[in-house]
Amino acid sequence: MNLPFGKKSKEKNINLLPEESSEAFSIKKDLVLALITPFATIILLAIVFATLFLLEKQQAIKNTNINKEINEKTAEWKKFASTANAIKSIKTNYDLHQNQTDQNKQFIESIKDIQGTVPNTVIISKLDIDNTGAVSVDGTATNPATVYQFFEVLKSKPEKFENTTLKSIGLSDDKTGKGKYNFSISVTVKSK
């Protein structure tokens, strides 16, 4: 019958051994167990420690070999370093050029977009446009309704224009006796 550690059976077993011998055997058994426990612990810890130590050494050796190979490959790469630099430079500057070209195209498109919204009788006297899409349009018209149309056309195309603002509008005499409406509108052309 299995019993908890150190407990003795209270059952009356048929024991052929004399009671004294049985007790001595039990003492010996417990003593051996008591000695084996720390010893086994030491052995186990030593095995774990040694295993880890060996694994670490193995990785260290591997690391040395890898570094050696890396150094060899790096030395080999250095022979092509100028080619690599040239390629990198070509690609970077090509991208820069393409980016700039795209921006210029966008710039031209912005001017054309503005052109496409100007009513026939409106005359632009000044167009100021920058690469952020900010546009300032100054112009004249004989009929304020055409300026109104221009403004509304800009506002009606939110996919192309935003922040459409009438900065000023006023009537002036153009020396021929006819009044002219001077206006100034600011708008931002959205980037595509």
Partner 1 sequence: MKKNFIKLLKKQQLIITLSIIFSVILVVLLGPAIYIRFVSWRSIASVNTQDLEKLRTTTENVSLLANINGTRLDIYKDLIEKMVPKESDQLRVVSIIDELVKKSKVTLKSIKVGGGSGGAATAAPTASGGGPAAQPQSSDAGESTPPTTTTAPASTSTTPTVQTGGYNLNITFEGTFSNTLQLLGLLENTKRTIGVKNIIITRGEKDNILTITADFSLPLSKDTEVTSQDRVAFTQKDADALSTLLSKLTIDALPTNLPTGRSDPFN
76 binds partner 1, rule: CB under 8 A: yes
State phi, psi for 160 to the nearest 5 degrees. -110, -40
Handedness of CA 3, 8, 10, 15 (dihedral sign): positive
**Residue type for 150, please?**
F
Are the CB atoms for 113 and 160 separated by under 8 Å? yes
Per CB under 8 A, the list member of 22, 119, 121, 127 interacting with partner 1 is 127
SS3 103: helix
| Per rule CB under 8 A, count of chain residues that contact partner 1 | 68
Measured from the Cβ of residue 89, the count of other Cβ atoms closer than 10 Å reads 10
Q: Which of 59, 156, 163, 172 binds partner 1 (CB under 8 A)?
A: 59
Smallest distance, partner 1 to C-beta of residue 44, A: 9
190 and 182 Cβ atoms separated by less than 8 Å: no
Which position among 21, 85, 163, 172 is part of the footprint of partner 1 (CB under 8 A)?
85
Task: Give, as ranges, the residues between 137 and 166 that touch partner 1 (CB under 8 A).
Answer: none
* Site stretch for partner 1 (CB under 8 A), options 27-35, 147-155, 158-166, 181-189: 27-35
State the binding string over 87-106 for partner 1 (x if CB under 8 A, else -). Answer: xxxxxxxx-xx--xx-xxx-
b/e for 169-183, b at 16 or more Cβ within 10 A? eeeeeeeeeeebbbb
In the numeric block, the tokens 């690391």 are attached to 63
Interacting residues toward partner 1 by CB under 8 A: 5-6, 26-27, 30-31, 33-35, 37-38, 41-42, 45, 48-49, 52-53, 55-56, 59-60, 62-63, 66-67, 69-70, 73-74, 76-78, 80-81, 83-94, 96-97, 100-101, 103-105, 107-108, 111-112, 115, 123-131
